[in-house]
């Protein structure tokens, strides 16, 4: 059945538009439900949760950035290198700032009974 909208009155056109908008919204909800069910099925088949399936850490993909107001990017602050806090007395080129893992030379010295304070600069 085809409706000739040229023959409709203003009230009939408005009624038709409202019906079409309701039908469109219903179809969109159905499409979303179907997509969600399909995603849940894929996740179940893979043995993971939907969250894990969509997580950027597991997929290697980043989420689409949301549009925001344009902001000027600020220049990242440049850090100064950390000061040396510990030095190997046997080899002065071996140093450690106290950050991160302890270097092998210091771990070995401490295992042999040395004290951390003995290597302070």
Residue 96 dihedral angles phi and psi, to the nearest 5°: -150, 140
CA–CA gap between residue 95 and residue 83 (Å, rounded):
10
**Amino acid 18: pLDDT:** 94
Q: Please state the pTM of the whole predicted model.
A: 0.41
What does 2-50 look like in DSSP terms, one character per residue? ---GGG--HHHHHHHHHHHHHHHHHHHHHHHHHHHHHHHHHHHHHTS-H
**Amino acid 31: pLDDT:** 96
pLDDT in tens, 52-105: 877 766 556 665 656 666 666 677 778 888 888 999 888 888 898 988 888 998
CA–CA gap between residue 102 and residue 120 (Å, rounded):
13
pLDDT in tens, 14-41: 999 999 999 999 999 999 999 999 999 9
CA–CA gap between residue 104 and residue 92 (Å, rounded):
14
Exposed, middle or buried, 109 (CB in 10 Å: 0-12/13-18/19+)? Answer: buried
Residue with tokens 């771990």: 107
């Amino acid at each position: 059945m085809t409706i000739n909208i040229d023959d409709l009155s203003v009230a009939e056109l408005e009624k038709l538009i409202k019906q079409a908008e309701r039908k469109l919204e219903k179809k969109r909800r159905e499409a979303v439900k179907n997509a969600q069910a399909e995603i849940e099925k894929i996740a179940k088949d893979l043995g993971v949760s939907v969250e894990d399936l969509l997580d950027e850490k597991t997929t290697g993909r980043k989420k689409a950035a949301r549009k925001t107001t344009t902001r000027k990017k600020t220049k990242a602050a440049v850090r100064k290198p950390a000061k040396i806090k510990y030095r190997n007395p046997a080899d002065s080129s071996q140093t450690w700032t106290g950050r991160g893992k302890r270097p092998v030379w210091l771990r070995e010295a401490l295992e042999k009974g040395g004290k951390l304070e003995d290597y302070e600069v």
